[in-house]
């Protein structure tokens, strides 16, 4: 915000002497005024960003560079939502004697499928975070635990979640459990290591202050270390959120009743590019919203952190 | 109290150091000696400044007295109790901001009471009293990031005072402040010191600061830190720092330090020393 205003001022100074700078002045005024309405500007930029991407795609289609059977542009795959939505109705699709037109409406189907996948991501994230932070703190708290557990965690950390897929099915069969398990396993090991790293980088002064005030080890962990690592942990969680979204699709595609992964598999098997892109769009919107909510929560929980996003704008 | 090291003196001094030495990473390849043979007695209510070149171990000695680190040789006593762990009687104030950013000013100040499980009313009352003494009662409900650097250090002082310490340990507390703020903070600290009756051990590498504050200045040699000399500042308080005596003392202290700084430089050039 401050930067935009400063640009406005320098623009004004230059514009007085040189007419060429007049357009720049106008542009910077526009930016400055938009910076005033922070959230509106954000919405505006988001729409602009997406429509730029969409129109490039549309252009490729209009020029005949992109085959609409393979890379259908947005206006085609978003054209008939009702038609696309029907494919999401996987919950009833396999039942004998149920036609595809029965059951929930197209829109409801999309909603149910999206909600099911989101719930799996959420459950996996919560489980993985609680486990990882708990184990991470224990590793640093008890030296014995550190020696006993950390080598195994480090060993399993680089294993791709895909490798766990058969294990998920062996253990949990099909349904919600293997999908949630996949999310947990994809995040857990990294998050344990991230937690330990966060604990190791807590400002020593803060710990020493607590020690001179007579705080015991449990008190130092509860009152200093855990609050001090929260900002970093939420950041780690946000990074891993996207990982969770990626993994949940793989897990779902192998066999749960319904979910975005199932729809993608269906689209692949039936060679339906429109459905693929439609599903990608829905996943994008869901993930975006999830991330946005997490950032809101982050700002709420971490009220003491300054906003650092503008820090490098001066360069 | 370990009996074999029990003091044979019945000293009621605020801090007593006998043959204190500290070697970091002792017994390894990276071992280096930070302090050697420190003997020092600090009276209750005395203001002592530790002065020395960077890396001479003066901060290390402060940490040892605080009980945050263990001496590898010798022993430290405070009011005839052996120093083995940190104690609220010996509060430490750091150079950098050490306030908890997630707590308000008053919660920071009463952190020590919260540790002991005091009630919210009691904590607030004690915090208010301590903040009154540092002139920051109005900032009680603010967060640390809303305060200036000088205000934060005053809050840190208030937090230390809330523990009613007998010894106040300060590790270059004003080093990050600008010159004007620092001068104000020195006056403020002298007021606090007079009111509290605590001994103050103050680490600095500023000769001006030493002359402005100290009853005695402990001058350290470069690594490993030993006491080069103990220099009394017998100027009456409040001090006129522009007087000829003050100027003469600054010159003498500068002379005392110069050799050590030169030696420290030569050593640093000879081989890079890990900080």
B117 near A CB under 8 A: no
In the listed set B146, B164, B182, which residue is the last one of a domain according to the structure? B164
The domain containing residue B106 runs over which residues? 98-164
Q: Are residues B259 and B173 in the same domain?
A: yes
Considering the domain architecture, whether residues B56 and B159 belong to the same structural domain is answered as: no
The number of domains in chain B is: 2
A115-314: CATH class: mainly alpha
ipTM over 0.90? The verdict is no
CA of B115 vs chain A CAs: smallest distance (Å): 6
**Contact between chains at B163 and A213 (C-beta distance less than 8 A):** yes
Name, in order, each residue with C-beta under 8 angstroms of B255's C-beta and a sequence gap of 6 or more.
none
Query: Are B257 and B128 in a shared domain?
Result: no
For the purposes of burial, counting CB atoms within 10 Å of the CB of B164, is it exposed (0-12), middle (13-18) or buried (19 or more)?
A: middle
**What is the Rg, in whole angstroms, of the alpha carbon atoms belonging to chain A?**
25
Tokens representing A140 are 């640093």
DSSP A312: G
Residue of A nearest to B100 (CA): A206
pLDDT in tens, B77-113: 888 888 888 888 898 888 877 899 999 999 999 998 8
Tell whether B66 is within 8 A of chain A (Cβ). yes
Q: What chain A residue is nearest to B97 in terms of C-alpha separation? A: A205
C-alpha closest to that of A262 among A166, A120, A140: A120
| B175 interfaces chain A, CB cutoff of 8 Å | no
Report pTM.
0.75
Tens of pLDDT along A271-299?
Answer: 888 888 888 888 899 988 988 888 888 88
A209 and B92 within 8 Å at the Cβ level: the answer is yes
Of B164, B184, B206, the one marking the end of a domain is: B164
Q: Chain A: give the shortest CA distance to residue B101, in Å.
A: 6
Chain B residues within 8 A of A209 when measuring between CB atoms: 92, 94, 98, 100, 111, 159
Q: Tell me, yes or no, whether B70 lies in a domain.
A: yes
Co-location of B115 and B186 in the same domain: no
Same domain, B85 and B111: no
- Compute chain B's Rg from CA coordinates: 19
Which residues, in sequence order, are CB contacts of A97 under 8 Å at separation 6+? none
The reply to whether A308 touches chain B by the CB within 8 Å rule is: no
The nearest alpha carbon in chain A to B93 belongs to A209
Instruction: Give pLDDT tens digits along chain B (275 positions).
Output: 444 455 555 578 888 888 888 888 878 888 888 888 889 998 888 999 999 887 788 888 999 999 998 888 888 888 888 888 888 889 888 887 789 999 999 999 999 889 888 899 999 999 998 898 888 888 889 998 888 888 898 899 889 888 888 999 999 888 888 888 888 888 888 988 888 888 999 999 888 889 889 899 999 888 788 888 888 888 888 888 888 888 988 998 888 888 877 877 777 776 655 54
């Amino acid at each position: 915000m401050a930067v935009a205003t400063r640009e406005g001022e320098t623009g004004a100074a230059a514009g007085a002497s040189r007419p060429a700078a007049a357009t720049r002045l106008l542009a910077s005024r526009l930016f400055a005024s938009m910076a005033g309405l922070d959230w509106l500007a954000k919405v505006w930029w988001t729409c602009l960003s997406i429509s730029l991407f969409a129109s490039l795609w549309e252009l490729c289609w209009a020029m005949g560079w992109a085959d609409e059977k393979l890379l259908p542009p947005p206006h085609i795959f978003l054209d008939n939502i009702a038609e696309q939505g029907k494919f999401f109705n996987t919950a009833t699709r396999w039942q004998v004697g149920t036609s595809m037109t029965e059951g929930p409406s197209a829109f409801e189907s999309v909603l149910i499928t999206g909600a099911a996948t989101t719930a799996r991501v959420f459950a996996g994230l919560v489980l993985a975070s609680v486990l990882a932070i708990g184990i991470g703190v224990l590793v640093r708290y008890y030296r014995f635990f550190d020696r006993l557990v950390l080598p195994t965690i480090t060993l399993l950390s680089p294993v791709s979640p895909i490798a766990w897929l058969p294990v998920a099915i062996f253990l949990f069969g099909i349904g919600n459990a293997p999908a949630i398990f996949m999310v947990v396993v994809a995040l857990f090991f990294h998050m344990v290591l991230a937690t330990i790293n966060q604990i190791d980088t807590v400002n020593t002064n803060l710990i020493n202050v607590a020690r001179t005030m007579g705080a015991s080890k449990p008190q130092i962990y509860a009152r200093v270390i855990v609050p001090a690592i929260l900002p970093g942990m939420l950041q780690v969680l946000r990074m891993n959120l996207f990982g969770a979204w990626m993994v949940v699709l793989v897990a779902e595609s192998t066999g749960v009743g319904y979910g975005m992964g199932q729809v993608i598999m269906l689209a692949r098997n039936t060679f339906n590019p429109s459905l693929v892109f439609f599903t990608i769009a829905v996943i994008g919107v869901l993930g975006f919203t999830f991330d946005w909510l997490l950032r809101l929560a982050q700002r709420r929980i971490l009220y003491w952190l300054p906003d650092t996003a503008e820090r490098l704008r001066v360069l | 109290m370990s009996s074999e090291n029990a003091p044979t003196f019945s000293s009621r001094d605020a801090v007593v150091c006998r043959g204190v030495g500290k070697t970091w990473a002792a017994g390894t390849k990276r071992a280096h000696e930070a302090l050697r043979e420190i003997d020092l007695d600090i009276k209750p209510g005395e203001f002592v400044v530790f002065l020395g070149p960077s890396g001479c171990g003066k901060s290390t000695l402060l940490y040892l007295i605080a009980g945050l680190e263990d001496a590898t040789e010798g022993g430290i006593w405070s009011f005839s109790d052996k120093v083995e762990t940190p104690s609220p009687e010996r509060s430490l104030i750091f150079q950098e901001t050490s306030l908890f950013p997630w707590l308000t000013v008053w919660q920071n100040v009463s952190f020590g009471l919260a540790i002991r499980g005091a009630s919210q009313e009691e904590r607030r009352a004690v915090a208010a009293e301590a903040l009154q003494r540092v002139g920051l009662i109005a900032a009680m409900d603010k967060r640390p990031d809303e305060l200036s650097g000088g205000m934060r250090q005053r809050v840190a002082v208030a937090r230390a005072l809330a523990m009613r310490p007998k010894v106040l340990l300060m590790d270059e507390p004003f080093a990050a402040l600008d010159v004007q703020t620092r001068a104000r903070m020195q006056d403020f600290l002298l007021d606090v010191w007079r009111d509290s009756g605590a001994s103050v051990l103050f680490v600095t590498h500023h000769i001006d600061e030493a002359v402005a504050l100290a009853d005695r200045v402990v001058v350290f040699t470069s690594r490993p830190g030993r006491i080069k000399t103990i220099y009394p500042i017998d100027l009456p308080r409040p001090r006129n720092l522009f007087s000829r005596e003050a100027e003469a003392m600054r010159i003498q202290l500068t002379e005392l330090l110069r050799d050590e700084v030169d030696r420290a430089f030569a050593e640093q050039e000879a081989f890079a020393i890990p900080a």
